[in-house]
Amino acid sequence: MSLNTFGHLFRVTTWGESHGPALGATVDGCPPGIEVDAEAIQVWLDRRKPGQNKYTTQRREADEVEILSGVFEGQTTGTPIQLMIRNTDQRSKDYGEIAEKFRPGHADITYWQKYGIRDYRGGGRSSARETAARVAAGGVARAALSALAPQMKVTAYMVQMGERGIDRSRFDLDEVGRNPFWVPDAAAAEDWAGYLDALRKEGNSVGAMIELAVSGAPAGLGAPIYGKIDTDLAAAMMSINAVKGVEIGEGMAAAALKGDENADEITMGPDGPVFHSNHSGGVLGGISTGQDIVLRFAVKPTSSILTPRRTITKDGADAEIVTKGRHDPCVGIRAVPVAEAMAACVMLDHLLLNRGQVGEGLRGRIGPA
Amino acid sequence: MSLNTFGHLFRVTTWGESHGPALGATVDGCPPGIEVDAEAIQVWLDRRKPGQNKYTTQRREADEVEILSGVFEGQTTGTPIQLMIRNTDQRSKDYGEIAEKFRPGHADITYWQKYGIRDYRGGGRSSARETAARVAAGGVARAALSALAPQMKVTAYMVQMGERGIDRSRFDLDEVGRNPFWVPDAAAAEDWAGYLDALRKEGNSVGAMIELAVSGAPAGLGAPIYGKIDTDLAAAMMSINAVKGVEIGEGMAAAALKGDENADEITMGPDGPVFHSNHSGGVLGGISTGQDIVLRFAVKPTSSILTPRRTITKDGADAEIVTKGRHDPCVGIRAVPVAEAMAACVMLDHLLLNRGQVGEGLRGRIGPA
Amino acid sequence: MSLNTFGHLFRVTTWGESHGPALGATVDGCPPGIEVDAEAIQVWLDRRKPGQNKYTTQRREADEVEILSGVFEGQTTGTPIQLMIRNTDQRSKDYGEIAEKFRPGHADITYWQKYGIRDYRGGGRSSARETAARVAAGGVARAALSALAPQMKVTAYMVQMGERGIDRSRFDLDEVGRNPFWVPDAAAAEDWAGYLDALRKEGNSVGAMIELAVSGAPAGLGAPIYGKIDTDLAAAMMSINAVKGVEIGEGMAAAALKGDENADEITMGPDGPVFHSNHSGGVLGGISTGQDIVLRFAVKPTSSILTPRRTITKDGADAEIVTKGRHDPCVGIRAVPVAEAMAACVMLDHLLLNRGQVGEGLRGRIGPA
Amino acid sequence: MSLNTFGHLFRVTTWGESHGPALGATVDGCPPGIEVDAEAIQVWLDRRKPGQNKYTTQRREADEVEILSGVFEGQTTGTPIQLMIRNTDQRSKDYGEIAEKFRPGHADITYWQKYGIRDYRGGGRSSARETAARVAAGGVARAALSALAPQMKVTAYMVQMGERGIDRSRFDLDEVGRNPFWVPDAAAAEDWAGYLDALRKEGNSVGAMIELAVSGAPAGLGAPIYGKIDTDLAAAMMSINAVKGVEIGEGMAAAALKGDENADEITMGPDGPVFHSNHSGGVLGGISTGQDIVLRFAVKPTSSILTPRRTITKDGADAEIVTKGRHDPCVGIRAVPVAEAMAACVMLDHLLLNRGQVGEGLRGRIGPA
C-alpha cells in the first residue's frame, strides 16, 4: 500500500494509472477566494503534454483537466478541489510484452514483488503519466501564490542532457520557452537537438540535469527540523519518476569546499540584509534567507529502450526484452514542468504553514526600530 | 513554529536546544516486546559523542541517555519511549558574540527572521547537538530491526573530505571503526589526518561526502508515490544539519548516462531474481529491489571559523565576525553515525508500514509455483 | 480551508459539493489483492440513496459510482482508489432563496463567515449528499474486511425517532432491512410510519437515535492514547452531518452508575476470557475486548423546514425563511448506512494499524501454555 | 503500538507511565514569542493534583513540571517544548495483585492482549496519571490563547455525580473553585460531599457528568469535514480515561426534538448576527458560530473498588479481585481540569489552523459594506 499525499497544509493526493479511465489530484487546503478555473490550470498541463515534438513520447493525450469540486463561480471555496484528467489514448496493445517481462531499470519488478498485482499497462501507477496530476495541482498552487505572494516566481530549466551542458555565459531565461528542451541557452538548444535525434534514432535514451530557481520568496519559510524548506523541496524532487539525486546551493560540491570559501557574507542594505554570494542556495538551517532558492536534480535515462537487455518473466524464466512503444528519449524534458509544479506546491504549503504557526510576515525585523 | 517529527508509523520527535537543560527524542510506534535498554542505546551515542579526538569539537558532554518511559523490564511495551540526554557542559560564555551577530552561513539569521526570538547559545535548536537525539532514537530503531529483520545492516562511512577522497580498491568496511574519520580506507585515514590537522590549525573547516549502505533489506519496501523509500531516505539525510545534496545509485551522474548503460540486467537465480549491476542504488520506482541500498550525501563546511567574515548585528549594523569557541573542523565526521541512525529509523518505519499495508513478506513471488 | 481526510493507514478523503459536477472519495491505503468492483460498492450506495420512499428527500439521483483508479482486473492494486459519483439531478432553482438567507440551524452562516464564499446550492459541501462518498469508501472497506476479518459484522439501526422508541424485547436484526427506517422492531416500524407521515405533512422534521454494533471484532484493536478505537469511532460518528452526541456502552448513563454496577466480570472459557456483561461497550482503555462494540449517536432534526423562522440575509437584513425544496423529514434515516460505512473504515484502519505496529493477531495469550 | 499525539498544528504527544521515572508532554507547534514559564503551568497542574482532599486518590505527588526545551528567557521560541513531571511517589507494593489479575472494567486485560506485555504498576500507561501531562500541555495552550485570543475562556465543571445533579437556577461559576467537586452550585456541593463520603467508605465508586463551556471563541473555527471543531472536541473528551459519551448542544436529547424546536433563530445586531437560542451548542456544520460552545461528557465509575469481583489471571485461572490501594471514589472530579486542558489545546489548534488556511479573522462579513 501507499502514501499518495504530499504537503502539510496544502495537501495534494494524486491518483490514477497510465491506462485506467482517468487520473487526477485531490487538492485539500487551498485557501478560499483564490481565482482559478480549468483554463488557468490547462496552461500548465499543456507545457507538460507529450507528443508536442519529436523529443517526447508520441502518445497523444488531450490531457484536458476538469474541475469537479471546490471551485464556485471562478473562485476556490476552501473545500477540496478535485482535478480529473481522462485517459483518452490507451493503446494497450503496445504493452503486451511488459505484462509478462520486467523491464530492467523499471518499477515493474518491484511493484510486482511488493503488491503481488500490478496494472502493467503503460507502467500503471509508476508511469510518468502520474505527473500530469501533479502539474494540475501545481496550477492551483500557482494561482494561490499569485494572490498571496505575487512576487514569487518558480522556474525550472534543463542545464544538462547526457554529455551536453550549457554555457552559463549565454544564460537567458527567456530562451527557456522557445525550445523543446526548456534550456536557457539558444546555442545549446540547437546542439542538443542533433544529439537527441541521434539517440532517439538508435532507440536509446539519456539522462538530464534540471535546475530549479525560486525567486521572490520571503525570508522565514521552512519548518525546522523535519519540515525544512530544502528537505521538503528535495523530497518533492526525489518523488518525481527517475530522479536519482538532488542538491541545493553548492550541493554535492560542498564536500570539497572550505569554510572560508562557503560562507555567504552579509552587509546591511537599505531594505534589509544583503548577502554577497549564494553558496547556501537561499536556505540556512532549513529556513529561506530571502535570496533565490536554487536546486538541481538529476534524472536517469528512461529504461524503455530498443537495445535488447536480459531480464526475467513473472514465472521466473530468463528472457530478453526490447521495449517498443512510444517512449521519451529524454524523460528529463517533461520533468521540467513537473518540478515547477511540485515546487509551487511546496512554497505555497510553507507560506500557509508560516502564517498558521508564526503569523503573517517576518517576526524578527533587523535594524533600528 | 515547526515540524519536529519524522516517520510514518515509527515516529520520532526530537526536542531540545544546545544549551537548554536537556534534549531528547520522543519515540512513538515502536512495536512491543523489543529488547532494549539505556546501555544498548548508549553504544550508538558514544560513537557520535564529541571530544573524543582532536577532530571534533572539544565540548565534552557525557551524553548519557536516560529512558523515561515505554520500556518495562528490559522490553518495549508499545507505548511512547522518552529518551532524555541532559546537557552538562554549557559554557555559555563562549557564545557571547553570537548573541548579537549572525554567523555567515549559519541559521542564526533565519531563525531570527522567522521567529523573532532565538536561543542563540550554541546555536540553540539549529545546533548539531540536536542530532544526539536522533542517534538515541536510532538506537531504538536498531534494536527493533535486530529483532524483526536481523539480516539488515545499516552502515555509513566517509568517502571524501574536502579535496581528499578514498581509493575504492582499498575499500574495507572493517577500517571504518578504526579511524576517527569513519573512512573505509586505512591509507586515506592517515592522509586525511594531516590534511585536517592543517585546516584545524588555521581555524578553517571543510566539507565532506558520506556514503550510506543498507544491506539485507528485503525487496518491497517503500510506499509510492510520496513515501518512496529513496524519497524518505533522501529527506532524512537532507534534514541533517549542513547537508546540501543527496544522491542514490548513480545519483547526479545519471544525468550523463544513456539508457543502455544504466539498466540493471536481471536473470533468475536459485533464490529469486539476480541483478547484474546496481545503477539504481537498490531502489526502483521508490521500492527496494532487495539489492544494497546505496546513497551519498554532501556536508558543507562548518560556518564557525576563525577567518574574519563580514556580517551584520541584530540591530542592523555592519560588523565582522570571528567565531571562537569549540567547533568541529569537519562536521561531516559526526554526521556519519547520525546518517546511520536516520536510515535505521526509515528502514524500520517502512518495514512496519509494509506489514500494515501489504502484509508480512513479499506478495509477488517470482518463479514457478 | 479544510481537513477532508479521515483514517490513519486506510485513509479516505471525500470531495465534492451537493450541486457540483460530481463528488467522491479518494481512498488511499487499501491493501492489494482485495476483490472489489463498482457493483459491490453500488449495493451499499443503493441503501443510502434518496428518493426510495416518501420518508427521504425526493431528490432522485442515480448515485452511480465509477471506479477511476486503483482496481485492476477486479482486484485492488495497493494504489489509490478513486470513486466518483456524478451529480445528475441538480435542480438549482429550488435553492434560490438560500443564496441570500441563512437557514437557522444550518451551516450556511458559518461557512460564509469562515470562508467568505460558499456554494449555497443545496448546502454545497455541508450537504448530507457528501455522505454518499463515505458510503462508497465504506464499500471498499467492507470488501477488505470480508477478506481480512470475515467474521466481523458492522450493523447500524435506528432505535429512536423523535418521541418514538423501540421495544427491546421485540429486537430482531432481520427486520432492519424490511422497513424504511432501518428499525429492528416490526411493530415500531409501523408506528413510526404514521408518526413521520404526520410530521412530513406539516413540513416539520424530527431527530433520531442510531445504534451501531460491531460483532466479531478481535480483541486488541485500538491505539491508545489518541487513536483509541472508541475515540476514533466517536469522531467518525460526530463528523456525520447533524450528529450532536455519541456514547459507547453505558454511555451518558455511566454518570449515574456505581463501580460495582459497572464492572464487567470475567471468567475463563474454553476459547479465552468470557465477559459476563458489556457495560463497557466492548472497549477498555481504548482497546477492543473481543465483545460486541456497541455505540449510539443522536441526529438532530433537519433545519430545512416549512415553519417560518427568523434569520438574516448576507447583507445583514432581518428576514424570515421557509425552506421549500426536497428535504428529509428525518435525516437520521440516511445516517444509518453512513454510520456503517464510517465504522467499517475505522475497523479496517485499526486492523491494518495493529498489523503494522503490533503484528498479526493477539500478542498476549491468556491461559496455560 | 500507539498513536500518542493529538492536534493538527498545535501538536501534543504525551508519554510516560504511572510508575515509571517520569511522564510528560512534547508540545510542538506553539507559536514563538508566547510568555510562559513553569510557574504558569504549575497553576493548572495544582488544580488536578491528587491528594488534595479526601475525595481524590491519596497518592501524593508533587507533580512539579520542568520545562526542558522550547522556552528561552520566559518566551516560547517556536521549537518543541518538553514538559517533564518526575514520578516521586511510586509505592509499587500496593499493586502486587494486579500484576497477575485483571481488574474487571479496566484496561489491564486489553493492554495485555494487544501488546503481550504491560507495565502493570499503577495501570502503567492507562493510568489516569497520564492526564497530568495533558494538563501541563494545556497550560502552554492557555498561555498562547491569552496572547492570541484573550477574550476566550475555557471552563469545565461537574453537573452530575452518580444520582445527584445540580439545580441550574443556582448555577454560579464562581462556586466552581470553592468546592472539591468543581460544581457550580454551593448547595449541591454540600449534598455531594455526604453522598461521596458514604460511597468512599463502602469502597465503592461513582460516575460523573461534566460540562465544558468555551466562551469568547470567534466564529469560523473548525475545519470541515473531518476536522470539525465539535468532532475534535468530542474526540479530545473521549480520549480521556473512563469517558463513555460526549454530546454538544442539545446532544443526545436532539433525537427527541422536532425541527421547529431545534432551530436557533437569528437576527441582526449592532455587532453582527445574534442567535436567540443555543440548541446547536455553538457549532453549525462543524464551524463555531461565535456563541458559547457547550458540551457534556460522562465519566464511568472507577473500576478499582473494594467489592469483590470475578476475574481471571494472566495464566487463565478464575479468580476474585478486590482492588485495594489509593483510588479515586469519583475519577470524574479530576477529569474537570483535564477536559479544560484538552479543550484549550483544541481551541488553540483551530485558531492556528484557521490563520494558516483561511487567514486572520472572519472572511465573510455580514451586513452592508
Please state the rounded mean pLDDT for residues B248-265: 95
CA distances from residue B325 to B61, B295, C289, D73, D306 in whole angstroms, order as listed: 15, 33, 59, 23, 63
Residues of B in contact with A105 (CB under 8 A): 259, 262-264, 279-280, 284
Q: Please, which chains are in contact with D (at least 3 CB pairs closer than 8 A)?
A: A, B, C
Q: Which of B10, B79, B357, B360 to mutate to test the interface with C (most CBs of C within 10 A)?
A: B357
First to last CA, chain B: 54
pLDDT tens digit sequence for C67-98:
999 999 999 999 999 999 999 866 556 567 88
Residue C42: pLDDT over 90: yes
Cα dihedral A28, A29, A34, A37 in deg (nearest 10): -10
Q: Is residue B2 scored above 90 in pLDDT?
A: no
A241 marked as part of a ligand binding site: yes
Nearest to B161 by CA among B138, B179, B135, B134: B179
Judge: C314–D366 Cβ closer than 8 Å, yes or no.
yes
- Express each pLDDT in C1-40 by its tens digit: 469 999 999 999 999 999 999 999 999 999 999 999 999 9
Interface residue A363 vs chain D (CB under 8 A): yes
**Single-letter amino acid, residue B203:** G
The residue assigned the cell 472519495 is: C25
Which helix (H) or strand (E) is A297 found in, with range? Answer: strand A293-299
pLDDT at residue B7 tops 90: yes
Is the entire prediction scored with pTM above 0.95?
yes
pLDDT score of B1: 47
pLDDT band of residue C49 (cuts 50, 70, 90) is: confident
C16 touches A: beta carbon within 8 Å: yes
Q: How confident is the model at residue D184 (pLDDT cuts 50, 70, 90)?
A: very high
* B87 shares contact with chain D (CB less than 8 Å): no
From A3, A17, A29, residue closest to C1, measured CB to CB: A29
pLDDT at site D25: 98
Residue D225 has pLDDT above 60, yes or no: yes
Check residue D182 and give its pLDDT. Answer: 96
B24–D125 CB contact, under 8 Å: no
Across the interface, do C359 and B31 touch by the CB < 8 Å criterion? yes
Count how many Cα atoms sit within 13 Å of the Cα of residue A333 in the half-sphere of its side chain.
26
CA distance A368 to chain D (A): 20
Cβ neighbours for D110, distance < 8 A, ≥ 6 positions apart: C219, C220, C222, C283, C284, C285, C287, C288, C289
Contacts of D82 in chain A (CB under 8 A): none
Determine the average pLDDT of the residues in B112-133. 93
- ipTM for this model: 0.96
Residue A181 CA, chain-centre distance (Å), reads: 15
- Search chain A and give the residue with CA nearest C17: A69
Q: What is residue D362's predicted lDDT score, i.e. its pLDDT?
A: 82
Q: Taking residues C196-211, what's their average pLDDT?
A: 94
Query: Is B242 in contact with B355 (CB distance < 8 Å)?
Result: no
D291 touches chain C (CB under 8 A): no
Q: Is the pLDDT of residue D53 over 80?
A: no
CB of A5 closer than 8 Å to CB of A11:
yes
- The pLDDT of residue D132 is above 60: yes
Contact status of A264 with chain C (Cβ, < 8 Å): no
The C-alpha cell that represents B41 in the structure block: 542505546
Whether B321 has a pLDDT exceeding 50, the answer reads: yes
Closest CA–CA distance from residue D239 to any residue of chain B (Å): 15
Question: Of the ranges A254-263, B207-216, D53-62, which is most confident?
Answer: B207-216
User: Which pLDDT belongs to residue A68?
Assistant: 98
Residues at the binding site of B for FMN are 125-127, 241-242, 285, 300-304, 326
Q: Which of C102, C244, C310 sits opposite D251 (nearest CB)?
A: C244
Q: Give D232-273 pLDDT, tens digit per residue.
A: 999 999 999 999 999 999 999 999 999 989 989 999 999 899
Q: Looking at beta carbons, which residues of chain B come within 8 Å of D90?
A: none
- How confident is the model over A306-324, as pLDDT tens digits? 889 999 999 999 999 987 7
Residue A239 assigned as binding residue: no
Q: Chain B contact for D96, CB < 8 A?
A: no
pLDDT tens digits for range B186-202 = 999 999 999 999 998 98
Query: Out of A29, A33, A355, whose CB is closest to D355?
Result: A355
Q: Which residues, including other chains, have CB under 8 Å from residue C264's CB and lie 6 or more apart?
A: C275, C276, C277, C278, C279, C280, C291, D104, D105
Residues in chain D: 369
Q: Does B198 touch chain A (CB under 8 A)?
A: no
Higher-confidence position of A60 and B174: B174
Q: Which of A357, A358, A362, A363 to mutate to test the interface with D (most CBs of D within 10 A)?
A: A357
Q: Which residue has the higher pLDDT, D186 or A200?
A: D186
Chain B residues close to C33, C-beta within 8 Å: 363
Question: What H or E segment, with its residue span, contains residue A238?
Answer: helix A229-238
Mean of the per-residue pLDDT values for chain D?
93
Q: What is the pLDDT of residue B93?
A: 61
Band of residue D307 on the pLDDT scale cut at 50, 70, 90: confident
Confidence of residue D90 (pLDDT cuts 50, 70, 90): low
Q: What is the pLDDT of residue B328?
A: 82
Q: What is the overall mean pLDDT for chain B? A: 93
Residue ranges for the known binding site of C are 48, 54, 125-127, 241-242, 285, 300-304, 326
Confirm or reject contact between A19 and chain C (CB < 8 A): no
* pLDDT band at residue D44 under the 50/70/90 scheme: very high
The residue of D4, D12, D19, D69 whose CB has the most chain B CBs within 10 angstroms, and thus the best one to mutate to test that interface, is: D69
What residues of chain B lie within 8 A of the CB of C355, using their CB? 355-356, 359
Q: Facing residues of D83 across strands?
A: D25, D67
**Any known ligand binding at D303?**
yes
Q: Which residue has the higher pLDDT, C274 or B51?
A: C274
Residue D142 annotated as binding site:
no
Do the annotations mark residue D125 as ligand-binding?
yes
The nearest CA of chain A is from the CA of D211 a distance in Å of: 30
How do residues C138-162 score in pLDDT, each as one tens digit?
A: 999 999 999 999 999 999 999 999 9
Q: Which chains touch C (3 or more CB pairs under 8 A)?
A: A, B, D
- Whether C31 has its CB under 8 Å from any CB of chain B: the answer is yes
Residue A217 contacts residue A351 (beta carbons within 8 Å): no
Q: Is residue C318 within 8 angstroms of chain D, CB to CB?
A: yes
Cβ separation of C31 and B352 shorter than 8 Å?
no
Read off the pLDDT of each residue in D86-114 and give the average, rounded to a whole number. Answer: 84
Q: What is the pLDDT of residue A286?
A: 97
Calpha distance A274→C346 (Å, rounded)? 53
The verdict on A227 touching D (C-beta cutoff 8 Å) is: no
In this complex, the residue of A32, A356, A358 whose CB is nearest that of residue D353 is A356
Contact of A79 with chain C, judged by CB distance below 8 Å, is answered with: yes
Contacting residues of A for B113, CB less than 8 Å apart? 219-220, 287, 290, 362-364, 366
Q: Is A86 annotated as a binding residue?
A: no
Q: How far is A142 from chain C (nearest CA, A)?
A: 17
Chains that touch B (3 or more CB pairs under 8 A): A, C, D
Least confident of A117-121, A226-230, B156-160, D285-289: A117-121
Rounded-to-integer distance, Cα B189 and Cα B166, Å: 9
The amino acid at C136: A
Assess B310–A contact: CB distance below 8 Å, yes or no. yes
CB of B81 within 8 Å of a chain D CB? The answer is yes
According to the model, what pLDDT value does residue C324 have?
73
Q: Which of A11, A134, A266 would you mutate first to test chain B, the one with the most B CBs within 10 A? A: A266
Q: Is D9 on the interface with A (CB under 8 A)?
A: yes
Instruction: Give the model's confidence band at D1: pLDDT under 50 very low, under 70 low, under 90 confident, else very high.
Output: very low
Cβ <8 Å between B357 and C29: yes
Between the CA atoms of B64, B68, B73 and B79, what dihedral angle is there, to the nearest 10 degrees?
Answer: -130
Query: Can you tell me the mean pLDDT for C298-318?
Result: 91
The list of chain A residues with pLDDT below 50 reads: 1
